[in-house]
Amino acid sequence: GQNIDQPTEMTATEGAIVQINCTYQTSGFNGLFWYQQHAGEAPTFLSYNVLDGLEEKGRFSSFLSRSKGYSYLLLKELQMKYSASYLCAVMDSNYQLIWGAGTKLIIKP
Amino acid sequence: ETGVTQTPRHLVMGMTNKKSLKCEQHLGHNAMYWYKQSAKKPLELMFVYNFKEQTENNSVPSRFSPECPNSSHLFLHLHTLQPEDSALYLCASSPGLDADTQYFGPGTRLTVL
């Protein structure tokens, strides 16, 4: 079966760096997405990786290793407003998104 | 604002009621999706439409009935729901069905009594 694993919850301190890991086993691979979802709001797109390596976008970076079935989302200089759930999703060979259950990130002052 | 709107934002209904959820996208996309999001569970894809035609129905019970009159509007008609159907229902759209980013609406929080 297809499976996406990510930690259920993480806690970090304001101003620090946090890395949220995602491992996957899917039927085919057409890219990996990271979304941010604040409570009661729409998931919003953060990043897309289809090739191995690191993609940097300001305070957010995403890394992919296809051979290891592994990705991480790196958040730098954490701000309180980054407290949210972070969803990892992989697009399979049928171009369907397979979703993880999300990682709830709690940021403390 | 993501360019995808959903109404209502909250809905409480009894098991015998009939109600409809509405989604509208202002992005000029051709594909639209319905997802179910339950607490601490992955998003579950329910239906996919591409150019108004249904391309995916992920074994969804018939008490959920989608309708897509045009590429900008998507409805989910609800009838005789069960308490376990209580969840956040998210609509999304994308330019096409390939490796395109999906843009989500804020969802409808549904409670079935």
Burial string for A80-96 (b: 16+ CB within 10 Å, else e) reads: eebbbbbbbbbbbeebb
Chain A residue with Cα closest to B106? A42
How many angstroms separate the CA of residue A43 from the nearest CA in chain B? 6
Tell me, yes or no, if B97 comes closer than 8 A to chain A by beta carbon. Answer: yes
Give per-residue pLDDT as tens, B28-78. 999 999 999 998 899 999 999 999 888 888 889 999 999 999 999 999 999
> B39: Cβ–Cβ under 8 A, 6 or more apart, which residues?
none
Give per-residue pLDDT as tens, A1-20. 789 999 999 999 999 999 99
Measure CB to CB from residue B101 to each of A45, A96, A101 and give the nearest one: A45
How many angstroms separate the CA of residue B79 from the nearest CA in chain A? 24
What does the pLDDT read at residue B57? Answer: 82
Put simply, the answer to whether A40 touches B97 (Cβ < 8 Å) is no
Put simply, the answer to whether B107 touches A48 (Cβ < 8 Å) is no
Give per-residue pLDDT as tens, A29-66. 999 999 999 998 899 999 999 999 999 988 999 999 99
Size of interface A-B (CB pairs under 8 A): 50
Separation of alpha carbons B48 and B46, rounded Å: 7
Put simply, the answer to whether A100 touches B42 (Cβ < 8 Å) is yes
CB B25 within 8 A of CB B72: yes
CB B13 within 8 A of CB B113: yes
Put simply, the answer to whether A97 touches B102 (Cβ < 8 Å) is yes
Which 8-state DSSP code applies to residue B1?
A: -
